Structure 1
């Protein structure tokens, strides 16, 4: 069963109790043992034919979308094509993610080049910005002050951040669980914006900065410009809006179940690698269909333990990791996709309670309603 977060107090100063403040029991050699079995079974070998087929399917899908775009012409059915593009760009983002983790090609530089082409030239986001952020997340998932994925960005993932929310963000934060998925319709735009901002405004040296800017500009010319050339202005904006919304929701809905609502680790907690990665990650059940839908992110526990493991091998590693967890008494969390969304919404709403008026007690509100009804 998923690990639930501690209740949120709405009275007095907000202070979230983090998992690991009293360090988790160290588990000697747990990861070494699992890693040895994984290597002996050949689960770290590359699967080039699998990724060739996935890439070919994405290219075929995009070719079909282009043909449909041309054939439909001035028609509101173009919004179906826009939605299909949103799905295909997300699938391409999954491949970029896997290339960044050295899962596809044999060499690191080759994977880097492929990831940069896919991220910038196909999806339209900065690879260098995303890679830096994602690497920090993998090193310290759900650790306060070190995991960028739990830093406040409209949505607050920590009670302290929720308590500091002001203005419009405070209104959103109070019921942020219910707003989470609607807000994902803007996440695609946010990802594009943050990536370009990083490339343009960062003063430190960024390897491949101008290559990435060039690929993003080329992608705009190939994808965005034809939309506005061949469709009426209103329809063109609607096309881009639908594509971006589908992309944002699909991306967010694939990444959100993995860690949100799992234990948040104290800044100075002492954890071994195995415990840190397993306790903060959640798998999604469903088998092959979930793997295709989520690009392998459904096996989040195994992905965090073995980031370079190719997608087809994750299900085999799952049995090994589960057995090790059972032997050592380490919680292994796996649930259904829909249940994971319910957990995320509930967790965010409980965190959001910290943004409410400390004198607006929910129990008092219920008593008022009961008195009024009487």
Structure 2
């Protein structure tokens, strides 16, 4: 993560705050607590279980559909896509350097998991690192562009949900949201910024997407398999859109000039929110519900974010900074409300 240059001044209407926090102090605490210990064996086991679990769920969905009804098979199909796309957390960890001990080992595991998913790891890393370095900085946060699009405002929570999570807007046209579009975006980033890796990653992407398509064709035939594959990528996009929707959208935003007045801890604590919850939250979001911990230390292994949370909370609050945390559904509804057009009430007639 590229730090934002510190400055004694603050942006906007925020009052004077304590001196810039020394992130090295917090890092030393986390190292002493063992939070940076990497477990590559755990990552390999998780990848194996995700693939086996998703394949079994898809097979069971086919059997239920044939023996009973399509609607009864739908939950099993969604479960299969959910388990499969949890491999995205593994790619995310390795791309940040949080899975294995060495840089090259992390890159190889990131390439493996990205290939399984049909994703360009170099292109994804480029856009995602910009998000980390410039979180909620208008025009520079590549993961949050749509929040500043004035055309993406809706009249109700329902239409906001449809427009934000089930569809994507491109040149004024709404298209079904699918992870294929993300692969195209990251392929562009890879070609533009890491062209030396583009050919190899393109081959891996085609193999990964081709393997997924072939699996569904074996389950349901050519046309049925193609439809299931597209639905699968649609469920995956819905999962990812929902997973990260409440972490940043409705929190503070800054212009590039304002962001220059903030140190890295202040920027991240003011623009990032965690999800509160128990075991189900941890399972669904894979540990990344602790977004502030992840944003302050992107290379901190995901399975240690919960252990790091008490240290981070104490650190930011001691420096007078916010520690945003709320239940997932509360955050989700706030995102929908953020995109509902706040039209003023009509003036009463005379």
Q: TM-score when scaled to structure 1? A: 0.77
Quote the residue 1:337 is aligned against: 328
**Range that drifts further, 84-93 or 270-279:** 84-93
Quote the residue 1:253 is aligned against: 242
| Residues 1-374 of structure 1: pairs in structure 2 closer than 5 A | 20-21=11-12, 25=17, 27-65=19-57, 67-68=59-60, 76=70, 79-80=74-75, 82-119=77-114, 121-152=115-146, 157-158=147-148, 161-162=149-150, 170=151, 173-175=153-155, 178-183=158-163, 184-185=165-166, 186-198=177-189, 202=191, 205-228=194-217, 231-232=220-221, 235-269=224-258, 270-349=261-340, 352-353=341-342, 362-364=344-346, 367=348
Distance 2:193 2:144 in 1: 24
SS of 1:335's equivalent in the other structure is strand
SS of 1:148's equivalent in the other structure is coil
Q: Which runs of 5+ in 2 are unaligned?
A: 1-9, 167-176
Confirm or deny: 8 A CA contact 2:17 2:320 kept in the other structure. Answer: no
Relative contact order, higher structure (CA 8 A, sep 6+): 1
Confirm or deny: 8 A CA contact 1:262 1:279 kept in the other structure. Answer: yes
Distance 1:256 1:299 in 2: 13
- What per-residue deviation string (whole Å, max 9, x for no partner) do you get for residues 73-99 of structure 1? 967466555423321232011110011
Distance 1:55 1:232 in 2: 27
Runs of 4+ in 1 over 6 A off after TM superposition: 72-75
- Name the count of aligned residue pairs: 324
Distance 2:329 2:61 in 1: 33
Confirm or deny: 8 A CA contact 2:276 2:289 kept in the other structure. Answer: yes
Distance 2:52 2:222 in 1: 28
Q: Which runs of 5+ in 1 are unaligned?
A: 1-18, 163-169, 354-360
**Range that drifts further, 84-93 or 19-28:** 19-28
1:296 is displaced (CA, Å) by 1.7
1:39 is displaced (CA, Å) by 1.6
- What per-residue deviation string (whole Å, max 9, x for no partner) do you get for residues 179-207 of structure 1? 443342314242133234555xx455524
- What per-residue deviation string (whole Å, max 9, x for no partner) do you get for residues 270-304 of structure 1? 11111111111100011332122112220001001
1:110 is displaced (CA, Å) by 1.3
Quote the residue 1:12 is aligned against: none
